[in-house]
Structure 1
Amino acid sequence: MKKVLLFLAQGFEEYEAAVFTDVLGWSRVVGDVPVEVVTAGLRPEIQCTWSLIVKPQAQLKDLDLAEFDALAIPGGFQRAGFYEDAYHEDFLEAVRHFDKTGKPIAAICVGAMPVGKSGVLTGRNATTYHLVNARRRKQLAEFGAVVLDQHVVVDRNIITSTGPATGLEVALILLEMLTTRENVEKVQEAMAIIDPKPL
């Protein structure tokens, strides 16, 4: 059994979280390796970007990070309060923990921003949201990352991507890092996922 911490910041995008819960959930049902997903946040109740209200299973402060095999980070909107939680020092310290222990960190869209702010992307390849004058990419570079103009970037244990459309690919890459390519193929078949064409 593998265990993934899915961090839900205030203002996260629902779809970007759902790709992790679905892909990893299907691995529990049809895969060779079951993957448990635990949602956690800094608040007992979170309002998402598009106004859905969710209650995470746990508070980050109450978890033993050593029990987890990977960290998943959906992005979100600034106007919805995403960076209030994403840039909180308690979460940045969690990001540092996962990187220090070499465990996978999967970030969709601006989920890469707290990874950059934590300092673990210094000198490493990454990407993030590409529109709005590439403002987020400039900020990621200011955090020390080598920003690539690619839809998905994998640098050792860290996966980053440009936007919601890349979410499914990021979740599948994370599943492969945690299990095997054969396991991913079983999940793709069960979910009727056709191998995506190169973006």
Structure 2
Amino acid sequence: MRTVSCLIFDGVRPFDYAVIGEVWANRVSRPGLPAFDLRVCGPVGARVRLGGGLERVPDAGLDALGDSDLVVVPGMEDPLAPPDPALLDALREVHARGVPIASLCAGAFLLAAAGLLDGRRATTHWWVATELAARHPAVDVDPDVLFTGDGRVWTSAGVAAGIDLCLHLVRAAHGQRAAAAIARAMVTAPFRAGGQAQFIPSPVPTETDREDPLAAVRSAVLAALDQPWTVARMARAATMAERTFARHFTAATGTPPLRWLLEQRVLAAQRLLEETDLPVDEIAVRCGFASAVSLRPVFTRRVGVAPRDYRRTFRGREA
């Protein structure tokens, strides 16, 4: 995934447009990453009026979308505004060519209007999820997740969830190291699973906050994933009662402690498979699994392939 096209049109949300640029535009501060070709596509010769009074002239026309490895549709300020038929036709043609398409926030309304979400599970910002379901009954709208997709079409919830989806797509194409480097440059969380809840009081607590006992526990766990962590042990480290700890942890991160722990262990295994020649058995132990046998089903369920296949895939891409 090297050539990424951002589709812009009147009313696009500046934040979503900026997120796409931050993730896929090349930066001197991110050495060692794949060289992305980010194209901003829209109506030829038209000055697009973004939200907030901003304007942008597209780099290329709608016909350039078909030559992309990925097309990303930002959200719009007014998702209920009638869509431009030319945009819908362009998206249908891109989809027919097999190019993956992802939408951020209310961009799902444009994909739904083009018929690309019919029969598919999709999400959008919880505030307008009911409206999306009402207008497009053939779409299976899930308002409770951060992002969802099937490899060909992806949708995400609002604001920060768009970052999560973009980083997920980078991770799937180029590995955990590339996604983590981009997240680090953006000073954002490197991994939030798509199945997490949308409405979280504090979705990305800062691990540098010395006053936050939960952040201290997360840091301790990440530094010793090979240890037999339990909710009781984490609660003791946070000097909290077990039930109190579990409740506060879930409210802060959007996922229960043990599920978060499992996700971090799989993420660490991905990183070691990409970056080292360690045997899979040793990687499993370092990440808190008893052996490769116990790692395999968990890894396969979350990543989609077995650990050895994952390593071969990314070694092949590097070659």
Unaligned 5+ residue runs, structure 2? Answer: 198-319
* TM-fit CA distance, 1:19: 0.6
| Residue identity in the other structure for 1:90 | A
* TM-fit CA distance, 1:192: 3.1
| Residue identity in the other structure for 1:35 | F
For residues 44 and 178 of structure 1, the distance between their equivalents in structure 2, rounded to whole angstroms, comes to 32
TM-score, normalised by the number of residues in structure 1: 0.82
* Aligned partners of 1:126 and 1:159 also within 8 Å: yes
Deviations 1:52-92 (A, max 9, x none): 122221232xx34342111011111228xx845xx222221
| Residue identity in the other structure for 2:86 | D
Percent of aligned positions with the same letter in both sequences? 24
* Aligned partners of 2:5 and 2:70 also within 8 Å: yes
Matches within 5 A, 1:130-169: 130-131=126-127, 134-139=130-135, 141-142=136-137, 144-149=138-143, 150-169=145-164
| Residue identity in the other structure for 2:75 | G
| Residue identity in the other structure for 1:78 | D
The match for 1:68 is: 68
Give the root-mean-square deviation of aligned CA atoms: 2.5
Matches within 5 A, 1:3-18: 3-18=3-18
* 1:168–1:157 CA distance, 2 compared to 1 (3 A): same
3-state DSSP of counterpart to 1:58: coil
| Residue identity in the other structure for 1:145 | V
* TM-fit CA distance, 1:125: 0.6
* 1:98–1:30 CA distance, 2 compared to 1 (3 A): farther
Alignment of 1:112 with 2:113, yes or no, is no
Deviations 1:2-60 (A, max 9, x none): 11110111011001011111111257843432111111112621222211122221232
* Aligned partners of 1:24 and 1:35 also within 8 Å: yes
Alignment of 1:56 with 2:73, yes or no, is no
Alignment of 1:125 with 2:121, yes or no, is yes
For residues 133 and 191 of structure 1, the distance between their equivalents in structure 2, rounded to whole angstroms, comes to 28
The match for 1:47 is: 49
**Which has the higher Rg, Structure 1 or Structure 2?**
2
Aligned with residue 89 of structure 1, among 85, 89, 92: 85
* 1:133–1:89 CA distance, 2 compared to 1 (3 A): closer
* Aligned partners of 2:133 and 2:139 also within 8 Å: no
* Aligned partners of 1:130 and 1:136 also within 8 Å: no
* 1:23–1:119 CA distance, 2 compared to 1 (3 A): same
The match for 1:99 is: 95
Deviations 1:79-120 (A, max 9, x none): 8xx845xx2222212222332233221101110111111112
| Larger deviation, residues 118-127 vs 184-193 | 184-193
Relative to its length, the structure with more helix (as a share) is: 2
| Residue identity in the other structure for 1:40 | C
* Aligned partners of 1:40 and 1:59 also within 8 Å: yes
The match for 1:25 is: 25
| Residue identity in the other structure for 1:58 | A
* Aligned partners of 1:27 and 1:183 also within 8 Å: no
| Residue identity in the other structure for 2:5 | L
* TM-fit CA distance, 1:172: 1.0
Query: Larger relative contact order (C-alpha < 8 A, sep ≥ 6)?
Result: 1
| Residue identity in the other structure for 2:188 | I
Residue correspondences, number: 191
